[in-house]
Amino acid sequence: MLDVRLIRSDIDSVRAGVARRGEDTSAVDRAAELDAEVRSLAAKRDSLRAEIRSLSNEVGSLFRDGRKDEAGSLQEQSKALGEEEKQLDERAGVLASELREVMLRIPNLPAAECPDGGGEADNVLLRTEHFDPDAYGDHQRVPHWEIGEELGLLDVARAVKLSGSMFVMYRGAGAALARALCQLAIDRNVDLYEEIRPPTLVRTDTMVATGHLPKFVDEAYHSERDDLWAIPTAEVPLTSLARDEILDSSELPKRFCAHTSCFRREAGSAGKDTRGLLRLHEFDKVELLALCEPADAPALHDEILARAEGLIADLGLSYRILDLCAGDIGASARRTFDIEVYSPGVDQWLEVSSVSWFGDYQARRANLRYRPGSGKGTEVLNTLNGSALAVPRVWAALVETNRRPDGSVAVPELLVPYMRGLESLTAPDR
RNA sequence: GGAGGGAUGGCAGAGCGGACGAUUGCGACGGUCUUGAAAACCGUUGAGGCUUCACGGUCUCCGGGGGUUCGAAUCCCCCUCCCUCCGCCA
């Protein structure tokens, strides 16, 4: 959520920012109107309340002095003011909640550095690494689900038996590989990022704090009986860690990393990517997240990107980095870099990480504040996050990229220690 | 799951219809004293909204939401969370 005061003080730049996304700016104007009305009503209401309070205090002192009989007219006056106050308060309340709804629909303003553009096609390709389209052999042009079945690493059919489509099951060395990836991702980041193992079921207000509710209700799994939601990403619990708290500037930036399962209903994508690991209802992910003062945000944004990129690079995958344009970044982001890995078997670029800077947009909603080192009062934090590693797509790209002509799959050197020394995935002996 | 007891400022803990945004203690900050420090003493010390160039004014917040009342931290209703005991359990 934006700061209403920004709309009050500089509505043009808010309009301009929303327009850069290609979105309608009428909500901004509506918010300005509602804000003015709410404030004028609230001012009237508050002065009525002040009068009521002072009358009541007088009544109180008359009672204490044993002059009860003199209090009657004051009581009546106060009661009459009370009626008026109640009406104003109701009206103000209605408008205030309308204002909040409008504010929640206004997206964040893209950063100045965020490239212009209306959609995916306008994203700026920053760099492509380690990629030569002609360098792939036929042995690599095999989709991971076939490799997985062949080598006994993946058992899609039985996962479907257990849970339905868009669920998978890793087996044997395939399961070890999935686990190894997560552990590697954690180990590489715990130098600065505190490892967190958060709950995967959270309350409604936790989902609301990051903006996953109410907008994406249909995307989330919900247990009605307990009113708990399965997290779609560790961003949800990690952001709420410091919710409603006031951090001291000396403890900033706060960096967290977490490995969790992530659950997504993928309601809008029925029929898309139904084979293999490209789109799943449940998957594992290691997430990096930072809370910081505004001035430190750009440096942290680079840091998280560098860490996510470094892992992909060290795994030996081909990848590219996109600077998403204003029309393609998420509603709460100010700037986002996507990392996409190339997966030769399916011949696709797969998004494996979105590294985003949210400014204070999320933090305002989640009420994350800090006390600046100098000066008084509190300020709203900035938030950033990105996946260090999302298992299924990286798993898929690895298996496809590392397939040898004999059908076996080479384990990247980095992962060998996490695989009990296993260097190669081969067909089970029969 | 059953039965009880709680939720108040950074923490501890009073207040149980009027003068309470809240006694007090601890902590933190500033000062006096001291060569310096400790101790002692004095003072300051929650968050947020609106308004003001500013000084200031004013409102909201005692777990959350509703209600009673001229007036609610205090009374009533609902919800959430925490604790203790019993049962069950990885």
Angle between helices A391-401 and A172-187 (to 10 degrees): 110
Q: Where are the beta strands (DSSP E) in A344-416?
A: 348-357, 369-371, 379-380, 382-390, 409-410
User: What is the residue-level pLDDT of chain A in tens, covering all 430 positions?
Assistant: 899 999 999 999 999 999 999 999 999 999 999 999 999 999 999 999 999 988 998 888 888 777 777 878 888 888 889 988 989 998 988 898 899 889 988 999 999 999 999 999 999 999 999 999 999 999 999 999 999 999 999 999 999 999 999 999 999 999 999 999 999 999 999 999 999 999 999 988 888 888 888 788 889 999 888 888 999 999 999 998 888 888 888 888 999 999 999 999 998 776 777 789 999 999 999 999 999 999 999 999 999 999 999 999 999 999 999 999 999 999 999 999 999 999 999 999 999 999 999 999 999 988 898 888 766 678 899 999 999 999 999 999 999 999 999 999 999 999 999 999 999 999 887 5
Of the candidate CATH numbers 3.30.930.10, 3.90.1150.10, 3.30.465.10, 3.30.70.380, the domain formed by A120-425 belongs to 3.30.930.10
Q: Which nucleotides of B are covered by protein (CB under 7 A)?
A: 18-19, 47-51, 58-60, 70-71
Nearest nucleotide by C1' position to the A42 CA atom: B50
Q: How far is the CA of A251 from the C1' of B31 (A)?
A: 29
Q: How far is the CA of A222 from the C1' of B61 (A)?
A: 32
Q: Which of A157, A233, A181, A211 is nearest to A389 (CA)?
A: A181
Nearest nucleotide by C1' position to the A377 CA atom: B47
Please tell me if the domain spanning A4-105 has the same topology as the one spanning A120-425: no
C-alpha distance from residue A171 to each of A100, A149, A376 (Å): 48, 10, 56
Q: How far apart are CA A192 and CA A255, in angstroms?
A: 7
Nearest nucleotide by C1' position to the A36 CA atom: B50
Sheet containing A254-263: give its strands across. Answer: A124-129, A319-323, A335-343, A348-357, A382-390, A282-292, A254-263, A194-196
Nearest nucleotide by C1' position to the A75 CA atom: B70
Q: CB-based contacts with strand B under 7 Å?
A: A 4-5, 39, 42-43, 46-47, 49-50, 52-57, 59-61, 63-64, 71, 75, 78-79, 82, 246, 369, 371, 376-378
Nearest nucleotide by C1' position to the A48 CA atom: B59
pLDDT at A223: 86
Q: How far is the CA of A248 from the C1' of B44 (A)?
A: 20
Task: At A382, list the tokens.
Answer: 């900035």
pLDDT at A329: 96
pLDDT at A322: 97
Q: How far is the CA of A202 from the C1' of B65 (A)?
A: 21
Nearest nucleotide by C1' position to the A64 CA atom: B18
Q: Where are the beta strands (DSSP E) in A181-318?
A: 194-196, 201-202, 222-223, 228-230, 246-248, 254-263, 282-292
Q: How far is the CA of A309 from the C1' of B39 (A)?
A: 58
Nearest nucleotide by C1' position to the A47 CA atom: B58
Q: How far is the CA of A194 from the C1' of B29 (A)?
A: 31
Task: At A260, list the tokens.
Answer: 């969790």
Q: What is the gyration radius of the CA atoms in chain A, in angstroms?
A: 27
Q: How far is the CA of A382 from the C1' of B58 (A)?
A: 32
Q: How far apart are CA A411 and CA A316, in angstroms?
A: 10
For chain A, count helices (H), then strands (E). 12, 16
Q: How far is the CA of A374 from the C1' of B74 (A)?
A: 39
Q: How far is the CA of A281 from the C1' of B50 (A)?
A: 47
pLDDT at A430: 56
Domain ranges of chain A: 4-105, 120-425
Residue A133 CB contacts under 8 Å (≥ 6 apart), including other chains: none
pLDDT at A65: 79
Class of the CATH-defined domain A4-105? mainly alpha
Using DSSP's 3-state secondary structure scheme, residue A337 falls into: strand
- Strands A319-323, A282-292: parallel, antiparallel or unpaired by DSSP? unpaired
